Amino acid sequence: MADGSTDFAFTSAVETATAAVWNKVRSRITPLEWRLQAPLIAEINRLKAEKNAVILAHNYMTPEIFHGVGDFVGDSLGLAREAARCEAKIIVQAGVHFMAETSKVLCPDKRVLIPDLLAGCSLAASITAEDVRLIKQRYPGLPVVTYVNTTAAVKAETDVCCTSANAVQVVEEVARQFGVDRVILLPDEFLARNVARQTEIGIIAWQGRCEVHERFTAADIAELREAWPGAEILAHPECPTEVLEAADFAGSTAAMNDYVIQRKPRQVVLITECSMADNVACDAPDTEFVRPCNLCPHMKRISLENIYEALLHDRYEVTIDPAIAVRARAAVQRMIDLPPPASPARYDLVKARHHVDVELI
Ligand code: 13P
Ligand code: SF4
């Protein structure tokens, strides 16, 4: 509304405009919730058209955001690619701050908004640009690959970025280009350990952790197997290696989504953030989802209300020092320019082959 309040009515026009979304999300949202959410969804979609804005929504957004207002949805790699090629004037990042920075790095001329500036990430907070400079001094000549879950200042110190969907490919390509057999992969220790099992390249790792995925254990998986013997268990590569070893499949959020949509398991468990299963479930009505998930408190800061406020007031704008942005862009662009993997990385393919250790900094 013009006064900034979000008190919209559930009119028949709103009901018609949002009918397709309701059909998709009705298994995950109650009719009472929908009467509050649908008017906001309609208003956000109207404002987007008026302001030439798009919303990039990560797989961990709640279903009313993901299915209701997201123009481009997906994993970190997919959203970065969309940011690079989208033509809108404004990008609203329905995700966390490092994702908004990545969009700004790739689109310096666009206005990039994040609905809540406090939407951070434990991995991005685990390492600074100064840490990376010191690491480079300690390992001269070795390439630095950083996970996109880092600040722009950290990316600026980096040779190339990666996401969980392409980390193995990036590590192998950068080792080939540098003519080395070891690569520094920052900052997620578990992702680094899981990549190390998929490649002959030696991995030097940092001790960053995702506060959502580090909490899953092999004992959790054993309990799930006992309680749901028919369920297929899919885990994200930010989980500890023991979890991936016990799972049936491991891959990025996009790879987990594709697994369910293509293979249509009767029962499935997604070992990751809670909203992921809700979003996939809307597109997979024949699969039963068992839900032992963990919430990401940073992702959950984003709501329909603050997305609406962001669009209405053009806030909160993400800015990056141009000298840092230009160096960070080179690292992200090198990743984007790699030929897309035929399919997103699977971390379970050779899990028994490599029992290698990583060198921890
Ligand atoms: P992906 O969507 O790239 O798999 O990453 C998950 C994540 O934790 C993003 O914050
Ligand atoms: Fe960061 Fe983990 Fe949350 Fe992703 S799920 S934003 S990696 S804390």
High-pLDDT (> 90) share of the chain, % = 85
Q: Which atom of ligand 1 is nearest to the CA of 148?
A: 3
Q: Is the CB of 164 under 6 A from ligand 1?
A: yes
Q: Which atom of ligand 2 is nearest to the CA of 298?
A: 3
Mean pLDDT of 142-153: 97
Closest CA to 87 of 45, 116, 50, 52: 52
pLDDT value for 81: 85
Q: What share of the chain is helix, strand, coil (3-state, %, to 5)?
A: 45, 15, 40
C-alpha dihedral sign at 224, 227, 228, 230: positive
Closest ligand by atom to 187 CA: 2
What angle separates helix 76-85 from helix 97-106, to the nearest 10 degrees? Answer: 30
Confidence of residue 349 (pLDDT cuts 50, 70, 90): low
Facing residues of 354 across strands? none
Which of 126, 210, 256 has the most ligand 2 atoms within 8 A of CB, as the residue to mutate?
A: 210
pLDDT value for 77: 78
- Residue closest by Cα to atom 9 of ligand 1: 76
In this predicted model, what pLDDT tens digit does every residue of 253-305 receive, in sequence order?
989 999 999 999 999 999 999 999 999 999 999 999 998 889 999 999 999 99
65 Cα to the center of ligand 1, angstroms = 17
Q: Over the chain, what is the mean pLDDT?
A: 93
- Global pTM value: 0.93
CB 169 within 8 A of CB 338: yes
Taking the C-alpha atoms of residue 178 and residue 243, their distance in angstroms, rounded to an integer, is: 32
What domains can you pick out in the chain, each with its CATH number? 12-120+298-313 (3.40.50.10800)
pLDDT value for 352: 46
- Residue closest by Cα to atom 2 of ligand 2: 210
In this predicted model, what pLDDT tens digit does every residue of 303-330 receive, in sequence order?
999 999 999 999 999 999 999 999 999 9
147 Cα to the center of ligand 1, angstroms = 10
155 Cα to the center of ligand 1, angstroms = 17
Q: Report cis status (omega within 30 of 0) of the bond before 187.
A: yes
Which of the pair, 5 or 66, is modelled with greater confidence?
66
In this predicted model, what pLDDT tens digit does every residue of 207-247 receive, in sequence order?
999 999 999 999 999 999 999 999 999 999 999 999 999 99
pLDDT value for 1: 52
17 Cα to the center of ligand 1, angstroms = 31
Taking the C-alpha atoms of residue 253 and residue 259, their distance in angstroms, rounded to an integer, is: 10
Q: Would you call 321 helix, strand, or coil by DSSP?
A: coil
Closest ligand by atom to 302 CA: 2
Q: Is the CB of 236 under 6 A from ligand 2?
A: no
Which of the pair, 359 or 133, is modelled with greater confidence?
133
pLDDT of residue 5 exceeding 80: no
pLDDT of residue 45 exceeding 70: yes
- Residue closest by Cα to atom 3 of ligand 1: 76
Q: Is the CB of 275 under 6 A from ligand 1?
A: no
Q: Is the CB of 279 under 6 A from ligand 1?
A: no
Q: Is the CB of 122 under 6 A from ligand 1?
A: no
Q: Is the CB of 75 under 6 A from ligand 1?
A: yes
pLDDT value for 6: 62
210 Cα to the center of ligand 2, angstroms = 5
pLDDT of residue 2 exceeding 50: no
- Residue closest by Cα to atom 1 of ligand 2: 121
Helices (H), the chain: 12-17, 19-25, 31-51, 63-66, 76-85, 97-106, 129-138, 152-155, 167-178, 189-196, 218-227, 241-246, 253-263, 274-283, 304-313, 322-337
Closest ligand by atom to 188 CA: 2
Q: Is the CB of 76 under 6 A from ligand 1?
A: yes
Which of 75, 168, 270 has the most ligand 1 atoms within 8 A of CB, as the residue to mutate?
A: 75
